[in-house]
Every structure is written in structure tokens, then in C-alpha cells.
Amino acid sequence: MPLHLIFQCCKCRNSLSHDIWSISRNHKYSDSKYVCEHFDVILDHESSCGLFGLEWRNEITIKAYCKIYNNTKTVIDKTFNINFMEYQNYTRFNNIVCHARISDYRGNYPNCGFHLQNEIEYNERLEQQRREEREREQEREIRRQYDRDLNSQLAMIETNV
């Protein structure tokens, strides 16, 4: 029975699905997979299973490599077995969040981390609006100063005539 990994970038919503099997005793592998322009996933997996597939376990480490910040963080580092087949987690890289879920059901997408990405994007929009408002206010102040200077020069010309 496989476990299913779903890794997703919360910013662009691109995802990666990967099946993880316990196929033999002391089977190890490591792999890197492309997810999106923001992330690659590094999957480290060690599995073992007993006679006839009984007493299986998967030690799984999922790391997210953020291409923008050139940084790697661990999202999942757990041991899965017949009693523990579901886990999800998220991690944040400055203003980008990613999350992952490992489940025995293929359709279980991660549902944690979106709230944080939405909060980050909301704050970015607010900051952009504040910046634009400050720029508009500076432009208005420059126009007012120009008008004052122009009026004072006109007044000086009228008094000299």
C-alpha cells in the first residue's frame, strides 16, 4: 500500500504528487523534483517491510528548496507505519508559503498554510496601497509648492510694474 505525497506552493498553487512505497527491506532513495518557479522538493525516503509486507514503515523527509531565497527548509520529517499514515505541515520562506501532506488517500491535499499566504498577500496589498497614497501625497505637495512659488513670483512681478 503506498503513501501519497502532495506538495504545493501556496503562492502559485502548483503542486506535485508522488507515491511512496515500502517495497523492500532497507530500501533508501533520495530524489529532487520540480514543483514551480518558486520551489523544488527534495524527498528522502527509507522503507522497510517484514515478511509478506507486514510491519512496514517509511521514514520520510520532505524538504522544500526555495529558488527565490536560495534556502532549504524541512516540511515533513516523520516515520509512517500502519498506525500513523497521515501528516501535513507547512513552512514559510519570507513571503512565500509551501505545504505538504502525506496520506494513505491519494486525494488528500494539504489544507494548512493557505491562511498564512493569504495574510502575507493581504499585507503586501495594503503596503502597496499605502506606498501609492504616499506618492500621490508627495506629488500633491510638490504641486502646491510649485503653485505657491508661482504665485509669489507673479506677486513680485505685479509689485515691480
Q: Per-residue pLDDT tens for 113-128?
A: 999 999 999 999 999 9
Across residues 83-94, what is the average pLDDT? 95
Residue 53 pLDDT level (bands cut at 50, 70, 90): low
CA distances from 88 to 6, 38, 77, 105, 145 (A): 9, 20, 10, 13, 58
d(CA 114, CA 40): 19
98 and 155 within one domain: no
User: Same domain, yes or no, for 26 and 83?
Assistant: yes
Residues 132 and 72 in one domain: no
Enter the pTM of the model: 0.81
Angle at the Cα of 122 from the Cα atoms of 118 and 126, rounded to 5 degrees: 170
**Across 57-81, average pLDDT:** 95
User: Which residues span the domain enclosing 152?
Assistant: 113-161
- Percentage, residues of the chain above pLDDT 90: 71
Residues 54 and 98 in one domain: yes
In this predicted structure, the answer to whether residue 73 has a pLDDT above a threshold of 80 is yes
Q: Give me the DSSP letters along 59-74.
A: EEEEEEEETTTTEEEE
How many domains is the chain partitioned into structurally?
2
Q: Kindly state the DSSP code that residue 51 receives in the 8-state scheme.
A: G
Say yes or no: 128 and 99 in one domain. Answer: no
Statement to judge: residues 98 and 127 lie in one domain: no
Same domain, 101 and 128: no
* 108 and 129 belong to one structural domain: no
pLDDT of residue 24: 64
